[in-house]
Structure 1
Amino acid sequence: MDKAIVFLGWSWRVFFVGGCLKSNGVILPDIVEQLGTTNSVVGLAFSLQYGVAYIIGPLTSLLLHIFTRRQVAVFGGCLVGASYIYCGLWLKFVHQLFFAFTVGGSGDSQVCHRLSCFLEYKQIPKKRWVYEVNFVFNFPSGIGNGFHMFAGYLNFCEHFYDNLGTAVSVGALSNFLGMATLPLLFQHLKMSFGLDNGLVLFGVILFNLIVSAFALTTPLRNPPRAKMVKVKQADKEEACPFAKENVVDKYDCVRNEKSRLHLYLQDWCAMFNHENLAVFMALEGLMFYIFVSWGLFLVSVGTSVGLNSDQAVLLSSAGGTGGLFGRLMAVVLFHYKRMNALTSTLFPLLCNSACFMGCAFLRSFYPIFLLAFVSGACIGVNSSGLHGLLPTVVCKFHFHQALATTAFIEGIAMQLAGFMSGKESALEAIAYYISFFWFSRDTAVVHQSEDKSRLPRGASPISSSITT
């Protein structure tokens, strides 16, 4: 029963997260036109909401050494909900916007709502206001969201560690379901009630995010700190300068009653002795760069090649539906133990690059619609595969630290995606950015550990790296 509650809570959250990202793409051209600014600036504003939540992963991880997961998750969820209420009821001046965003992180729809409202109030010059929102107001806005998200996902991973690949693939179906449905809902609200009122109504719907904060099983007791945890030779004493006095023999990492910060740094240092982890984290960052670029700008790609707004929104639904199909493919691959470096990384990224390149040169609706579907399927397989294979790259002892550091790298990649992918007004540039990152790498995939004793069910190890 506990696993079912955790699974449903996480699925509920990723439904809205994916839908928000895609829905931002629906209004991105309107916001750019209304502000008289560039895709890069508005894309950065949208990506900050997600990027900051991931960037603070190490901070959240440190807090989880002090507080329980439930406390951190509920605190983050309350911050997000409180900022919605504050913005909706009392926001009239710029300093109040700063306060609300700093305290809780009001979420993507509220950012868009404040963009249009403050332009209407004309309280400060347009150009100056755009940059203040991007670099001052929005940066702290993902803090509450990050606390809420990371604690919940860590709890999800620990409940389904032995079947993480399959669990992530099935649970994340709701992520792409949100991508397929919420943009259509948001488009309907915008057409029926106007941009401002539609954003307010959409923000009310997104307030349901706080429900998932209570989906953590109660009360969660953190496992007792072990005096000794057996790990592989990758964590030998000589490879970790923080651990010398605590090592009983060359194969053991030992945790004693030292300060939490000391233990945190010690674990973080030893974590990178897993030789494939750095490459894996780089691939995670690349995957999130592509995902955010695809999520924010797919609708704009459609309009830039001559499609009308209704057809462009359908591209978003096609991508979300393709993502659902990709997640299902990942479930099958994990079930039959065929998920490995090739199927999780090499083939999906290569196919996805080809899809974006095709969108840059096509002008008719149905071929672009098909490519959007295929691209979504590739991203679904890639995302599920990388998340599910993390336990094959790092031992369970260092899983917590690896997850936090990976989240930080993903957040940085999101920030780059929101700004760089919108640099050109003709959004075909997305294809060239992705292709550059793909074809310039010497190593395409990580070679997984041969230690089958700690492989999650459905994962397939690869003993050597494969180069392009």
Structure 2
Amino acid sequence: MAENLPEDSTDPWKYAILFSKFLLFFIDGGITKSFGVLLPDVVARYNSDFKTVALVLGLPSTMMFFTAPITIFLMKIMTLTTMATIGGLLSALPIICAPWAPSVYILGMMLAITGLGMALTFFPLLVSMNRFFSKSFIFANTLTLFGTTCGAFLVPVIIERSLEAYGYAGGFLILGGIAFHAVVCGALVRSPRERRRDNFISSDSDNAERDSLMAVPVSDQSEMEQTDRGNASIILQETVEEFKSEEENARSSSGNDSWCSCDSFLAHLKSFLFLHEPLYIVIAPAMVLQCFVQVGWMLFLVPHAEGAGIDQSNAVFLSSIAGISGIFGRILYLILLHLKRDNTIIFCFACVICASSFFFDFVSSSYIFLAGMASVQGFTVFIFDCLPHAMMKISIQNEENMPRAIATNSFIVGIGFLSGAVLSGYIYDVTSSFRVLFVVYGVLLLIITINLIIFKLIVQRKPRE
């Protein structure tokens, strides 16, 4: 299906769009990890519990995905550049004002606005990237995902030093200043500007027409002008009559408002994305389950090691080991994309390898074994981390549906993240075993693999039909 896509834009501005999306992911990853540094201070400041504060501090990333469908309606009243710039302001201002929030609930409302602002910037950037990188969208989007890893490594260190130097308010102000760079990301959004071949053809035809008119005698030119005037008057008269007939039809149909509203409702219903893109329906469950496994694994990797008897200081290093392995995993994925390997097959192998590591979790509880499993899981998790946007691009057959697909995809990712965090905690509360939880992740990864195989078979069969 990738061969039928239009070529990438020749506008050099596409690299600015690429950098903008990288920077936005840098901000998102940095905010998420920095809130882990600020969490104890927020608990002490508002005399709250960790569960409530963790939910509040997780609102920016969650709201960024859940509110993405709203941007579809905002596209009708403003440009993508305006939307993205306003989103950048909304991303930063609540974080800057967060130290003066009177309660943890007001803080939650402010951080929810931050998530909305990031959605207003994230959606235009993703749409613009699809316009600039029509054919290599998957490769370009994977490059920008490195921003999350870089932000997660660098920004928490900055915020930790800021807390020591400037205190609670100063740490939030510096984090808000980092988030303020989202305004730059939004201001860089614009459509591709390139001169097409048909423009040159039309200009050449205009010159040829002008030369032919210069070659016609003056008497013939006057006859041609009179003929043109007569034709123009006939066209003008027909236009006036057509306009009158449209007015009469509008008056006659003014009494049928209920039918019009019904027709408009049916038109909106028929424009629902799932009715036009059946392949997207097939792959949507894999997207939800992938986000479920990813967020659950990230939340419970360190507690799982602590439950196995590893002290906290050493258990924290498992996240660093998984993150470093994830960088190599994404590099390998980019190499495979450059070699034009099939995305579906890559994700299938990654899911099977990761599922095997979850199933082998019961073998040993030693730190070396858990570190090896964490490296394997990080290597593979950050490969199929690219699954939602990659499979969205492959499954959408009509490029005109891409804006709606991006918004719908963001909502699906939000559902996966939220359900993964909540249900993983519920499974542990019921079973009191991290090993059972990891086995559940392995089973879900096998279900994702089956879903990908079914999708691949349908795609291969469709061209034959």
TM-score (norm 2): 0.69
Identify the residue that residue 322 of structure 2 maps to in structure 1: 319
Alignment of 1:56-95 (within 5 A): 56-88=67-99, 90-91=100-101, 93-94=102-103
Instruction: Show CA shifts across 1:205-256 (max 9, x none).
Output: 3631231332346572599xxxxxxxxxxxxxxxxxxxxxxxxxxxxxxxxx
- Among 290, 293, 301, the alignment partner of 2:293 is 290
Matched, 1:169 2:145: no
Q: Which one has a larger percent helix, Structure 1 or Structure 2? A: 2
Matched, 1:4 2:15: yes
Deviation at 1:32, TM superposition (A): 9.2
Identify the residue that residue 268 of structure 2 maps to in structure 1: 265
Identify the residue that residue 147 of structure 1 maps to in structure 2: 120
- Give the partner amino acid of 1:210: F
Deviation at 1:294, TM superposition (A): 2.6
- Give the partner amino acid of 1:153: L
Runs of at least 5 residues in structure 1 that lack an aligned partner in the other structure: 107-137, 224-257, 452-460
The secondary structure found in structure 2 opposite 1:372 is: helix
- Measured in 1, the distance between the counterparts of 2:79 and 2:192 equals 7
Q: Is the 8 A contact 1:83 1:101 kept in 2?
A: no
- Measured in 2, the distance between the counterparts of 1:35 and 1:83 equals 21
Deviation at 1:440, TM superposition (A): 5.3
Matched, 1:384 2:357: no
Q: Is the 8 A contact 1:184 1:313 kept in 2?
A: no
- Measured in 2, the distance between the counterparts of 1:221 and 1:86 equals 33
Matched, 1:410 2:413: yes
Identify the residue that residue 367 of structure 1 maps to in structure 2: 369
- Measured in 2, the distance between the counterparts of 1:389 and 1:328 equals 19
- Give the partner amino acid of 1:70: T
The secondary structure found in structure 2 opposite 1:370 is: helix
Matched, 1:54 2:65: yes
Matched, 1:212 2:182: yes
Q: Is the 8 A contact 2:85 2:186 kept in 1?
A: no
Deviation at 1:299, TM superposition (A): 2.8
The secondary structure found in structure 1 opposite 2:305 is: helix
- Give the partner amino acid of 2:442: S
- Measured in 1, the distance between the counterparts of 2:117 and 2:134 equals 26
Q: Is the 8 A contact 1:28 1:300 kept in 2?
A: no
**Percent identity among equivalent residues?**
20
Q: Is the 8 A contact 2:126 2:406 kept in 1?
A: no
Identify the residue that residue 213 of structure 2 maps to in structure 1: none
Instruction: Show CA shifts across 1:67-111 (max 9, x none).
Output: 1112222212212211122222x33x23xx545543xx43xxxxx
The secondary structure found in structure 1 opposite 2:341 is: coil
Larger relative contact order (Cα-Cα within 8 Å, sequence gap ≥ 6):
1
Q: Note closer, same or farther for the CA distance 1:202–1:85 as it changes in structure 2 (3 Å cut).
A: closer
Q: Is the 8 A contact 2:96 2:176 kept in 1?
A: no
- Give the partner amino acid of 2:121: H
Instruction: Show CA shifts across 1:376-431 (max 9, x none).
Output: 22122212244234222112111111111111111111111222222326544541
Alignment: residue pair count: 376
Q: Note closer, same or farther for the CA distance 1:441–1:349 as it changes in structure 2 (3 Å cut).
A: closer
- Measured in 2, the distance between the counterparts of 1:275 and 1:54 equals 22
- Measured in 1, the distance between the counterparts of 2:313 and 2:342 equals 37
Identify the residue that residue 233 of structure 1 maps to in structure 2: none
Deviation at 1:331, TM superposition (A): 0.9
- Measured in 2, the distance between the counterparts of 1:302 and 1:203 equals 34
- Measured in 2, the distance between the counterparts of 1:356 and 1:411 equals 24
Matched, 1:435 2:442: yes
- Measured in 1, the distance between the counterparts of 2:80 and 2:421 equals 30
- Measured in 1, the distance between the counterparts of 2:182 and 2:302 equals 29
Identify the residue that residue 444 of structure 1 maps to in structure 2: 451
Q: Is the 8 A contact 2:325 2:376 kept in 1?
A: yes
Q: Is the 8 A contact 1:421 1:429 kept in 2?
A: no
Identify the residue that residue 338 of structure 1 maps to in structure 2: 341
TM-score (norm 1): 0.68
Deviation at 1:360, TM superposition (A): 6.0
Identify the residue that residue 133 of structure 2 maps to in structure 1: 160
The secondary structure found in structure 2 opposite 1:306 is: coil
Q: Is the 8 A contact 2:96 2:172 kept in 1?
A: no
Q: Is the 8 A contact 1:348 1:382 kept in 2?
A: yes
- Measured in 1, the distance between the counterparts of 2:442 and 2:173 equals 35
Q: Is the 8 A contact 2:17 2:189 kept in 1?
A: no
The secondary structure found in structure 2 opposite 1:161 is: coil
Identify the residue that residue 235 of structure 2 maps to in structure 1: none
- Measured in 1, the distance between the counterparts of 2:445 and 2:146 equals 26
Q: Note closer, same or farther for the CA distance 1:47–1:290 as it changes in structure 2 (3 Å cut).
A: farther
Instruction: Show CA shifts across 1:247-305 (max 9, x none).
Output: xxxxxxxxxxx9xx879936742553322201222222222222222333333333332
Q: Is the 8 A contact 1:330 1:384 kept in 2?
A: no
Identify the residue that residue 123 of structure 1 maps to in structure 2: none
- Give the partner amino acid of 2:441: I
Q: Is the 8 A contact 1:31 1:42 kept in 2?
A: yes
Deviation at 1:167, TM superposition (A): 0.7
- Give the partner amino acid of 1:220: R
Identify the residue that residue 236 of structure 2 maps to in structure 1: none
